[in-house]
Amino acid sequence: MKKQTKQIAVAAIVLAAVLLTGCVDQMSEMSADEIASMMETKQAEITDFSATMVMTSSYGEEGMTMQATMVTIPPDKSRFEYIEPAELAGTVMVTNNSTIWTYDPIDNQVTKMALPEDMPSGMDYTQIVKGILNETDIALEGIEDVGGRSTYVIEATPKNESNREFISKTRVWVDRENWMLLGTEMYDADDNPMVKVEYRDITFNTGIPDSEFIFEIPEGATVVETSFEDMMPKEMTLDEVRDNLTFDLKTPSYLPDGYEFDHVMLIGDIYGSEQEILSLKYTNGSGILHLRECVSDGSGQLEPAMGEPEIVSINGTDGKFTSMFGRNSIQWSVDSIDYSLSGAIEKGELVKVAESLV
C-alpha cells in the first residue's frame, strides 16, 4: 500500500501545480470565458505563493485524504511536505531548477533525480487554462462561499463525449477578489465525486527566499541518485522478462477476438517500492487489455478497488469485479501471486481470460 499511496501523492503534486493567484478589483458579473481569460492573464503577476493542499479521493465507499504544505516560486522552484496520511507524513519533495530531491523519513533515504533537458521542471498554468478552454465546454454555475471567501463556480464538461466515460465534469472554484484557484473537484460518469483538491491558508507575493528550495540532506540519510529515464519501466519481450523475474510469469491462452500481445514491462524500484510488478499489454488496435502480476504483499490486490466490488469465481477462487470510467476490472490472488485484469471488455470475457492463465 505504501507504493500505491506514493503514486497518488505524485498525482496530488501535479494537481497542486495548477494553483493560481493574483490581485485585481472585484468584478460582479463575468462569463466563464472571461474568468478563465483573466486567470490566464494574471499568471504573469505571480512571484511566489504558499498554501496547504488537501486532496480527498473517493472510490465507492473507500476514500483517502492527503494534506501537504507547499511553497512555490514559479516556474521551477517548489517544496512539498506531507502532513497526512501517516505513511507519508514527513515526506519532502523539493524541485530546484532541473533537480528533484525526495526524502522518505521511514527509510531515511534521499533520492536525487535529474530531469531531462527537454522536460520543464515547473508547470505552465497558462497552457493548463488554454487546455480547459480548448477541450471543455465551460459554464458559470454561480457564486459560492469557500472558507469564508466568495468564489465563482465554473463547470467544465469535456467536449469529446468519449472522454466523459472517465470524467463527466470538473467543478472549479475561483476567488472573486484575488483570482486564486481555491479548489477543483472531478466527477465520474455517474456524476459521483472522485477527487477534490482544496487550497487553504493561501498567501502570495510575500517574497519567499530562494533558500527555501535548498535541500539539506538529513543526518545519516542514504542518498540515491537516479534519472528520469532510469525511473521509467522499459518495454520488453516475454523471454526478456522471464530472464529477469523471480516468480513464474503466466499468460492467457484465451483472448477476446482481435486481441494480441503487444508488450510487457517489469517495474522494479519505482515510487520507493522494491516489489516486482509485471504489466502486460494486449490490444486489438483500439482497445487495450491490461494484465498485472506481482508477489502478494498481503493486501490481496495490486491497487485500490474502484467502486463496490462484486465477487466472481476464477477457477474456484474468489475475485473482485469492479466497473468504473467505462473499464471493467477483476483482481484475485493464487499461490501468493496477485493478479489484476482490466479493460473495456464485458465481465464474462474478463473471467474467461483470467481463467485461461497458464
Q: Which helix (H) or strand (E) holds 290?
A: strand 288-295
Strand, coil or helix: 146: strand
Q: Give the pTM.
A: 0.60
pLDDT of residue 131: 64
How far is residue 321's CA from residue 290's CA, in Å, rounded to a whole number? 14
Cell numbers at 346, concatenated: 464485458
Structure confidence by residue, pLDDT tens digits, 152-202: 888 888 887 766 666 788 898 888 877 777 888 988 877 888 889 888 888
Which neighbouring-strand residues pair with 196?
56, 185
pLDDT of residue 117: 67
pLDDT of residue 1: 46
pLDDT of residue 235: 78
pLDDT of residue 8: 42
Instruction: Give the helix ranges, DSSP H, for 161-319.
Output: 228-231, 238-243
Q: pLDDT in tens for each of the 358 residues of the chain? A: 444 444 444 444 434 443 333 333 333 456 666 766 777 677 667 788 888 989 988 755 567 889 999 998 887 899 999 999 888 899 999 998 888 999 999 999 999 988 776 555 454 444 555 566 677 888 888 899 887 788 888 888 888 776 666 678 889 888 887 777 788 898 887 788 888 988 888 888 899 999 999 999 999 999 998 877 666 677 788 888 888 777 888 999 999 999 999 988 887 544 444 567 888 999 998 889 999 998 876 554 444 444 568 899 999 999 999 876 667 899 999 988 999 999 888 999 999 999 999 8
Which neighbouring-strand residues pair with 7?
none
* Position 318, amino acid: D
From 331, 27, 53, select the one nearest 177 (Cα to Cα). 27
How far is residue 339's CA from residue 230's CA, in Å, rounded to a whole number? 25
Domains located in the chain, CATH noted: 2-224 (2.50.20.10), 233-355 (3.30.200.100)
pLDDT of residue 129: 56
Which neighbouring-strand residues pair with 187?
169, 193
pLDDT of residue 119: 56
Structure confidence by residue, pLDDT tens digits, 293-308: 988 765 544 444 445 6
- Given a contact cutoff of 8 angstroms between Cβ atoms, the answer to whether 212 and 187 are in contact is no
From 221, 2, 3, select the one nearest 108 (Cα to Cα). 221
